Structure 1
Amino acid sequence: MATRPVVTDPDQDVSACDREPIRSPGAIQPHGLLLIADAPSGRVIAGAGAIEDRLAAEWLGLSLETLLGRAVATMVSAMPVGPGSSISTGTVQGMTEDFAVTAHRLAGDRIAIELEPAHTETPWGSGSPLNWLDAVATGFERTGDLTMLCERAASAFRLLTGFDRVMVYRFLDEDSGQVVAEARAAGQHSFLNHHFPASDIPKQARALYVRNRTRSIPDAHYTPAPLRPEGFEMVDLSDVGLRSVSPIHVRYLRNMGVAASASISIVKDGMLWGMIACHHDTPRHLSPELRAAAAALAGNLTRQIRAKEEAELYRERLRLRAAEDALLPRLTGPGASEPALRHLMPDLMAIMAATGFAMVEGGQVHCHGVCPPVIGILEAARWTATRSGGDLFVTHELGAVMPHAGPLSATASGLMALPLAEGGLTLLWFRAEQVQDVEWAGNPHKSMALTPGEMLTPRASFESWSETVRGRSRRWTLEEVEAAHRLRRSLHEAYQSHRLRGLNGALQRTLDEKDALLLQKDVLMKEVDHRVQNSLQLVSSFLALQAKAADDPRVRDQLIEAQARMSAVALVHRRLYRDDQIQTIELARYLEDLVGDMRQSLGAEWSAMIRLDLAPVLIPTDRAVNLGLVTTELIINATKYAYDGAAGPVTISLRQYGNRLCMIVADEGRGRAGEAIIDGSGFGSRMMTAMMQRLSGSIDYADNRPGLRAIVMAPIAD
C-alpha cells in the first residue's frame, strides 16, 4: 500500500476537502493510545500516541498478552474474521491511569486496539444505565409530535454528555441542514432554526457518519499523533473512535469557538436523517461508555422519529379521505356539476389547504378566497392547459416555470390546475406566497474564489445571516395530488351520470348508440392491449429461443438479461390497463409483480432467497418503467456476481423520504471484491446510468458486511 506524510498543519490548502482521505489519516487524537496488531501472531506491529509514557516503555513487537493481559488478548483473538467487527474488552491498567479498551477488526488480518482514559462520571450515578435509558426512552414515547420529540432529545443528550450546547440537526431535501431543537447552557449563543449549507458536511463525511455513528473530539486544539514506526502503511481507521479528524473540520470548530465536540448519528432505514451535535467551550472527553449509551439512545430516538413521521402521514391521508367522503356526494348528486362546484368552492379550497380557489367556465371566472386578478386566472388556466396537455399541473414556484408570472406570486406562488374535459371547466387552487426568512449560520452564498497564492479555508463567520426567500408557497403533497386525481375521476363520473340522465327518454336511442360505441371502444382497447401483449410475448419468446440456441455463454446471458428487461416493460403495460389510474402507479405492487416474474425465470433456489421489504410509494408511471429496469439490472448483477453463480440472499427494500424515494438492493456475497459489478463498463451499467439521469437520481454502492448494497435515490416526481 502507498504511504503519505501525516497532515498536522490545519492551515494547509484544503481545496480538495471532498477528496481528502478522512478514513485513513495516519494519525490519532493524542488523548488516547492506538495499537495495531497482527491477528495471526497477536504481536503489535505499529502504534500511535504516548505509548512509552503511559503504557509500556517497550511495546513494538510484543504480544497483546504481554502488554494488555491474557483476558484482553483472549477476547481479541476470538473476534470474528473480517473488517467491521468491534468489541469492548473492559479496562487495563497503564503506568499511572486506567484505560478503556476497544478492539476493531481491520482489513488484511490487522486488529486496532484503542485505549482511552477510563472515566466513571455518568448521569445515572451508581445505578443501572439501562434503567436510565429506559426512563428517557419512555419520555420520548410520550411526546405528542416530532418537534416536541426533538426538544426532549436535545435535553436528554445534554444531560447524558454534559456539553454546553446540544443541537438536533436535521438534513433537508437539498442536503442542507437545519437545527430543529437545542439545549444550551446560560450565556451560549443559540443556533436554533438556523440553516447550514450542504458544503459544511461533505458527502464522504456523511457516508462515514452512517458507518461510525458516534464521534468525539475532546480538544479541538490537539496535535495529531502519527502512526509509528515511520513509513507504516496506511490503514482504514473508519471504525476507530480515536481517528484523527480532518484539519478542515478542526479549523471549522475553531472558527465556531468550539473547544470540544461530539456527534451522534441519527440513521433511519440506513440513511442519515440527522445528527446530535454537541459543542463545549472547554476541552471535554466523552468516554466509550457514554458514547455507547448515546448510540443506544439515538437508536430509540430514530424509532420514535419514524413513528411520528408515519403517524403524520397517516393523519394527512385520513383528513383527505374524510373530506372527500363529505364532499363527493354533494358534487356527484342529481343535477349539473357546475352549480354544485360553484356552491362548494369554500369546501374545495379547504380540502387542499389552499388560500384561494377559482373555477374557469368558458370565459367566466368564479373565485373564492385570496385569488389573482381575473385576467391572471384566465392566463394561468390557458397556460397550464397548454403546458400539461390536459393533465393535472402542480407547482409550488409558479414564477420559475410560467413566463410573466411575477405579478401573480403574492397570491398564486403555488398552483394546482385541474382541467376537466367535460364542460370545458378548469379548477385552480392557489397558495399564496410564503415569504420565508431563512436564518443561516453564516452567509451560504459567500464567494469561495481564491486569489493567486491564497489557501481555501473553512468559513470563519457563523453569525446569523438572514435570507428572504420569495416566490414560493408551501409544497403540495403527493397525497393532495392523488386526491385531485380522485376528484377528477369522481367529477367525470358525475358528469357522465348527469348526461345519461338528461338524455334518458327522448334520447334513449342516442344513449344506446353511445353505449355501443363505448363498448366497441373497450373491445378495441382490449384488442390493442392483447396485440401489444402478444407482440411483447413474441419478442420475449424469441429471445428465450435464441438464448437456448446460443453456444456462447456470454451471448446466452445477454439474451436472458434482455428478456428480463422486456418483462419489466411488459409488466408496466399490463398494470396500465388493469388499474383505473394510469398517471401514477403503486411502485411497491409493481416491484412485487416484477420480482415475482423474475423468481419464475431464476428458478426455485433463487426464488426462496429473494426477500422484499417495500413501503407503499405512489410514483408517476413513466418513472416506474425506468426504476423497474434499474431494479431488474441490479437483481441480475446480484445473481451473476454476488455468489459466483450460486444462490444466496438478496433483499430489495423501498422507502419514501419526503419527496424522494430510496430503493436498496443488498446481497450478502463477495461485496466489493466483484469490482466488475460497479465499474460502469458493461451495457447494463451504462443503461442504469442513463435511466438514473432521466430520473435525476443516483446509484451509490456501499459495503453490506458481508456483501454489497446498491442504494438508488431519486425524486418521486419530476
Structure 2
Amino acid sequence: MASQSFTTDPRADLTGCDREPIHVPGSIQPHGLLLIADARTLMVVAGAGDLEARIGADWLGTKLPDLLGQDIAALLEAVTAGPGGTVVGQPVTLAGERFDVAFHRAGDLLLVELEPSAAEPIGAGTMLGRLDLLAQGFERASDLQGLCDRAAIAFRQLTGFDRVMVYRFLDDDAGRVVAEDRDPALGTFLHHHFPASDIPRQARALYVRNRARAIPNVDYLPQPIRPESFAGTDLSDVGVRSVSPIHLQYLRNMGVEASASISIVKDGLLWGLIACHHNSPRALPADVRQAAATLASSLARQVRAREEAETYRERLRLRAAEDGLVARLADASELRAAVERTKADLRTMLGADGFALVDGQAVVADGVCPPDHVVVELAAWARLHGGMEPFATHELATLRPAAAVDSGTVSGLLAVPLIEQGATLLWFRVEQVEEIEWAGNPHKAVALTPGATLSPRASFATWSEAVRGRSRRWTLEEIEGAYRLRRTFQDACRSRELRDLNAHLNRTLADKDALLVQKDLLMKEVDHRIQNSLQLVGAFLAMQARAAGPGTVADQLIEAQARLSAVALVHRRLYRDDQIETIDLSRYLEELVGDMKASLGAEWGRRMKVDLAPVLIPTDRAVNIGLVMTELVINATKYAYAGAPGPISIALEQHRNRLRLIVADEGGGKSGVHSGFGSRMMTAVVSSLDGEMLFTDNAPGLRAILTAPLTA
C-alpha cells in the first residue's frame, strides 16, 4: 500500500496489513443487527446494533426463541461447530421492519445475524430462472476471456452496481482486472494491475470462507459489540461484520460509496473476485448475495473447464507437430542435415522466436538468435547449469547477467542436450517488454501518518511500468514436448546408424540387434530381481507381522510393508516409461491405491473413492507424494473408524503451479499420535517438497490436504 501526503518511510513494513485481525473487528455495520448467545442455553449474552429500538431494552439475558419466535434448537442441529457453519432462519419482523436471519456457530457461541430484507424480495422461482439464464450465457462463451466478459455483464445485471470488475489473481499474488462492465460516465480499470498488498493474506482467506459480502455505505459508523468483553468474538461468517478502516479509506480514495465482492473459488482456492463499486450508498440484500455466490460457483466451474480445455489443446498441438517431424528427422543422412531441413518447424513447434543446434563449434540457426559465438557459449553454460537435463528460463539475464548484453533482446532460453550426439538444441524467445498499467504507482514509498498508522493507497490514477528482461514463460507442456523431441532425435540418430550399418555389413546389424535384445533382457532381469527383492522384504515383513500377533509391532510392520509397496510401484513405472524425468502423478497414485486396496482387503477397497486429475510432475517428487498419500491412508484406516472399514476419498487437483492432494474420511476426525515414525517421516517428506500439510474438519471426519509446488 501507499499513502496520502504524510511523512514517507521507505522501510515501512507492508506486511502490517497482513496481521490486522479483520475477523474480530469488535463491531458491525449499522444496517444490521447481531445477537450473540450461549449455544447451550440459547441465552443472549452480547449484541451489536440498534437493538433497543428494534427489539427492546431488555434484549440482554433473554432467550433467543423468545426474541425471534423460532425453534432455535431444531436449527442448531444443522449448524456445525466448525468454520462456515451457517443456516438461514425464518425472516422476522422487528419494529415494523422485516429482517433476514442467519445463524452462525463460533465455538461455544451462536451468532444471530439480522439484516434488512429487500423491499421487493425476488421469488425463488424467478431467481432460479435468472441464474439459469445467466449460467447458459457462461456456457456459450468461446474462451476464457469471453467468459469473463459475460460474467462482468451478468453480475452487473444481478447486483445493479455502477461498476462490476472480474479481478484475477496472478502467480505473484498481484491482481489484474480482466473484464469490466460499467456506467459509461465512469473511468475504466480494465487491464489495470493491483499490487498483492491491496488484498492482505487474511482477507484472501476470508474470501474463500465467506463467498459474498457487501458494504452498503463506506461512511458508516461502526456499532460496537456490547458488552465489551465479547469484542474478541470471531465474526468470520457474519455478513454485516465491520470492515477494516484501512479498506474503507481505500474505497473512499477510489471515490466509491458502496461496494460488494463475490469470490471466484476454483478447486478450493481463490482464483479471483467479482468486485462491485457504486457511486452512492447501495445495499445488496441477503437473497441477492446468495444468488451471486451461486452464480460465482457456476462461473468457477466454467473457468476450470476452459483452462483444462486450453491445456488439452496445447498437448494435442505439440503431439501433432512432433508426429510430423519424426519421419523427416529419420530420413536425413546426419544430425546437421536433419536440423537444417526441419529447423523452422522445430522453432514454431515450441512457440519460439529462434532456434539453434550447437554441434561442437558449428551452429545451425533459424529465426531470432544471438550471434553464433554467443549461442555456443550459451549451450556450454546451459549444460553446466542444467547438467544433462533440459534447462528452461524466461529471465535469462537474471541467471547469466552477461546474456543481457551478449544476446541482445533474447530473454527466454530452453536448452536440451542431446546426450548421445554430444550436441545441444536451443530455443530462444525474445524479450517481451510488457507495458503494465497499475491502478496507482505500486513502488511509491509507503507513507505514515504522524501517529505512525499505515494508511491505504491514495492514488489510483493509471501508472504505466515497462517490465523488461523477460520473455513468455515456457509451459510444462512445452518442456515435456522438448523431452519427447530429445527422444525423437535419439531415435533418429539410432535409425541413421542402423541404416548405415545395414548398408555396409548385415552381420554387424545382426550383432547389434542381438546386443540390444541382450540389453533389454538384462534390464528385465535387473527389474525382475529388484522386484523379487522388494517382494521378499515385503513377505518377510508380513511374516513378522503375523508372528508378532495383534498389537503395535504388527501394525508398524504392516505400515512398513505399505510404504515399501509405494517404492516398488515407482520402480515398476520407471521401467515401463521411456520418460523417467517426469511422470503423470494421477496414474502413479491410481496404481498405488490399487495396490493398497489389494493389501487392505475387498471391504476397504469398495469404500475407497478416487478422483485424480492428470498432473505432470518430476519423478522424485512423485515418490515423496506417494509416500505421503500412503501414510495418510494408513492413518485413516487406523484411526478414523476404530479399525473397521469406512469411506475414504482421495483427490488430486492442480491450480496453476501447485498441486493439492486430499485424503478425507468420514470417521472420528482424529489423525492419531503425531510422534511416531510415520508422522515424523511425513513431516520430513512434506518439508522436502516445500509443501504444507493442513488438517481440517470434513464434517464428519478428517480432511488432510497437502499443498505443494509442481517443481522444486
TM-score, structure 2 as length reference: 0.90
- The corresponding residue for 1:290 is 288
- Cα deviation, 1:454-488, whole Å, max 9, x if unaligned, reads 23344444333333222211111222222222222
Taking the aligned partners of 2:597 and 2:203, their CA distance within structure 1 comes to 38
- The corresponding residue for 1:342 is 340
Greater Cα shift, 127-136 or 584-593 = 127-136
Which residue type is aligned with residue 238 of structure 1?
S
Relative to structure 1, is the Cα distance of residues 536 and 73 closer, same or farther in structure 2, using a 3 angstrom cutoff?
closer
- Cα deviation, 1:51-76, whole Å, max 9, x if unaligned, reads 11123333223333432234x65863
Relative to structure 1, is the Cα distance of residues 116 and 453 closer, same or farther in structure 2, using a 3 angstrom cutoff?
closer
Which residue type is aligned with residue 114 of structure 1?
E
Taking the aligned partners of 1:661 and 1:77, their CA distance within structure 2 comes to 36
Taking the aligned partners of 1:218 and 1:453, their CA distance within structure 2 comes to 29
Relative to structure 1, is the Cα distance of residues 590 and 259 closer, same or farther in structure 2, using a 3 angstrom cutoff?
same
SS in 2 for 1:128: helix
Relative to structure 1, is the Cα distance of residues 258 and 634 closer, same or farther in structure 2, using a 3 angstrom cutoff?
farther
Greater Cα shift, 304-313 or 698-707 = 698-707
Q: Do 1:56 and 1:94's aligned partners in 2 also have CA atoms closer than 8 Å?
A: no
- The corresponding residue for 1:688 is 682
Taking the aligned partners of 2:119 and 2:320, their CA distance within structure 1 comes to 55
Taking the aligned partners of 1:614 and 1:469, their CA distance within structure 2 comes to 38
1:564 to 559, 562, 565: 562
1:237 to 226, 235, 238: 235
Greater RCO (Cα-Cα under 8 Å, separation 6 or more): 2
Pairing 1:394-413 to 2, within 5 Å after superposition: 394-402=392-400, 404-408=402-406, 410-413=408-411
Please say if 1:635 is aligned against 2:633: yes
Pairing 1:466-545 to 2, within 5 Å after superposition: 466-545=464-543
1:165 to 155, 163, 166: 163
- The corresponding residue for 2:110 is 111
1:699 to 681, 693, 701: 693
Taking the aligned partners of 1:25 and 1:556, their CA distance within structure 2 comes to 52
- The corresponding residue for 1:53 is 53
Which residue type is aligned with residue 116 of structure 1?
E
Taking the aligned partners of 2:118 and 2:355, their CA distance within structure 1 comes to 64
Relative to structure 1, is the Cα distance of residues 632 and 408 closer, same or farther in structure 2, using a 3 angstrom cutoff?
farther
Taking the aligned partners of 2:405 and 2:14, their CA distance within structure 1 comes to 45
Taking the aligned partners of 2:339 and 2:171, their CA distance within structure 1 comes to 36
Which residue type is aligned with residue 707 of structure 1?
G
- The corresponding residue for 1:414 is 412
Which residue type is aligned with residue 567 of structure 1?
S
Q: Do 1:399 and 1:409's aligned partners in 2 also have CA atoms closer than 8 Å?
A: no
Taking the aligned partners of 1:384 and 1:15, their CA distance within structure 2 comes to 37
- The corresponding residue for 1:433 is 431
Please say if 1:716 is aligned against 2:705: no
Relative to structure 1, is the Cα distance of residues 644 and 114 closer, same or farther in structure 2, using a 3 angstrom cutoff?
same
Which residue type is aligned with residue 180 of structure 1?
V
Taking the aligned partners of 1:172 and 1:592, their CA distance within structure 2 comes to 31
- The corresponding residue for 1:222 is 220
**By how many angstroms is 1:395 displaced?**
1.8
SS in 2 for 1:444: coil
Taking the aligned partners of 1:508 and 1:701, their CA distance within structure 2 comes to 65
- Cα deviation, 1:406-428, whole Å, max 9, x if unaligned, reads 22554431112222234433221
Q: Do 1:384 and 1:393's aligned partners in 2 also have CA atoms closer than 8 Å?
A: yes
Taking the aligned partners of 1:436 and 1:700, their CA distance within structure 2 comes to 37
Relative to structure 1, is the Cα distance of residues 643 and 279 closer, same or farther in structure 2, using a 3 angstrom cutoff?
farther
Q: Do 1:68 and 1:92's aligned partners in 2 also have CA atoms closer than 8 Å?
A: yes
Taking the aligned partners of 2:480 and 2:588, their CA distance within structure 1 comes to 18
Which residue type is aligned with residue 358 of structure 2?
V
Q: Do 1:218 and 1:286's aligned partners in 2 also have CA atoms closer than 8 Å?
A: yes
Q: Do 1:390 and 1:419's aligned partners in 2 also have CA atoms closer than 8 Å?
A: yes
**By how many angstroms is 1:324 displaced?**
2.4
Taking the aligned partners of 1:492 and 1:691, their CA distance within structure 2 comes to 35
Which residue type is aligned with residue 588 of structure 1?
S
Relative to structure 1, is the Cα distance of residues 91 and 453 closer, same or farther in structure 2, using a 3 angstrom cutoff?
closer
Greater Cα shift, 56-65 or 410-419 = 56-65
**By how many angstroms is 1:640 displaced?**
3.3
Which residue type is aligned with residue 243 of structure 1?
R
Relative to structure 1, is the Cα distance of residues 618 and 501 closer, same or farther in structure 2, using a 3 angstrom cutoff?
same
- Cα deviation, 1:344-401, whole Å, max 9, x if unaligned, reads 2111111111101112233211111111100111111112223333332222222223
Q: Do 1:97 and 1:117's aligned partners in 2 also have CA atoms closer than 8 Å?
A: yes
SS in 1 for 2:141: coil
**By how many angstroms is 1:160 displaced?**
1.7
Relative to structure 1, is the Cα distance of residues 658 and 427 closer, same or farther in structure 2, using a 3 angstrom cutoff?
same
Relative to structure 1, is the Cα distance of residues 554 and 207 closer, same or farther in structure 2, using a 3 angstrom cutoff?
farther
Q: Do 2:434 and 2:468's aligned partners in 1 also have CA atoms closer than 8 Å?
A: yes
- The corresponding residue for 1:265 is 263
Which residue type is aligned with residue 60 of structure 1?
L
Relative to structure 1, is the Cα distance of residues 255 and 710 closer, same or farther in structure 2, using a 3 angstrom cutoff?
farther
Q: Do 1:352 and 1:480's aligned partners in 2 also have CA atoms closer than 8 Å?
A: yes
Taking the aligned partners of 2:392 and 2:404, their CA distance within structure 1 comes to 17
Which residue type is aligned with residue 25 of structure 1?
P
Pairing 1:617-696 to 2, within 5 Å after superposition: 617-671=615-669, 674=670, 682-696=676-690
SS in 1 for 2:504: coil
Greater Cα shift, 169-178 or 572-581 = 169-178
Which residue type is aligned with residue 94 of structure 1?
L
SS in 1 for 2:620: helix
Q: Do 1:169 and 1:177's aligned partners in 2 also have CA atoms closer than 8 Å?
A: yes
Which residue type is aligned with residue 223 of structure 1?
L
Which residue type is aligned with residue 118 of structure 2?
H
- The corresponding residue for 1:89 is 89
- The corresponding residue for 1:8 is none
Q: Do 2:447 and 2:455's aligned partners in 1 also have CA atoms closer than 8 Å?
A: no
SS in 2 for 1:344: helix
Q: Do 2:224 and 2:231's aligned partners in 1 also have CA atoms closer than 8 Å?
A: no
Pairing 1:377-396 to 2, within 5 Å after superposition: 377-396=375-394
- The corresponding residue for 2:300 is 302
Taking the aligned partners of 1:15 and 1:345, their CA distance within structure 2 comes to 49
Relative to structure 1, is the Cα distance of residues 338 and 478 closer, same or farther in structure 2, using a 3 angstrom cutoff?
same
Relative to structure 1, is the Cα distance of residues 641 and 255 closer, same or farther in structure 2, using a 3 angstrom cutoff?
farther
- Tell me how many residue pairs correspond in the alignment: 699
Taking only the aligned residue pairs, the percentage that are identical comes to: 61
SS in 2 for 1:455: coil
SS in 1 for 2:239: coil
- Cα deviation, 1:654-700, whole Å, max 9, x if unaligned, reads 122233222222223344xx4766x7x55444433433343333333
**By how many angstroms is 1:156 displaced?**
1.6
TM-score, structure 1 as length reference: 0.90
Q: Do 1:661 and 1:714's aligned partners in 2 also have CA atoms closer than 8 Å?
A: yes
Q: Do 1:371 and 1:411's aligned partners in 2 also have CA atoms closer than 8 Å?
A: no
SS in 1 for 2:229: coil
- Structure 2 residue runs of 5 or longer lacking an equivalent are 1-12
- The corresponding residue for 2:272 is 274
Taking the aligned partners of 1:589 and 1:557, their CA distance within structure 2 comes to 28
Taking the aligned partners of 2:568 and 2:319, their CA distance within structure 1 comes to 32
Please say if 1:360 is aligned against 2:358: yes
- The corresponding residue for 1:34 is 34
SS in 2 for 1:286: coil
Which residue type is aligned with residue 158 of structure 1?
R
Taking the aligned partners of 1:319 and 1:453, their CA distance within structure 2 comes to 59
2:152 to 147, 154, 163: 154
Taking the aligned partners of 1:602 and 1:125, their CA distance within structure 2 comes to 51
Q: Do 1:171 and 1:273's aligned partners in 2 also have CA atoms closer than 8 Å?
A: yes
- The corresponding residue for 1:581 is 579
- Cα deviation, 1:274-297, whole Å, max 9, x if unaligned, reads 111112233221100110110121
- The corresponding residue for 1:3 is none
SS in 2 for 1:231: helix
**By how many angstroms is 1:42 displaced?**
4.3
Q: Do 1:179 and 1:192's aligned partners in 2 also have CA atoms closer than 8 Å?
A: yes
Taking the aligned partners of 2:667 and 2:249, their CA distance within structure 1 comes to 41
Greater Cα shift, 682-691 or 150-159 = 682-691
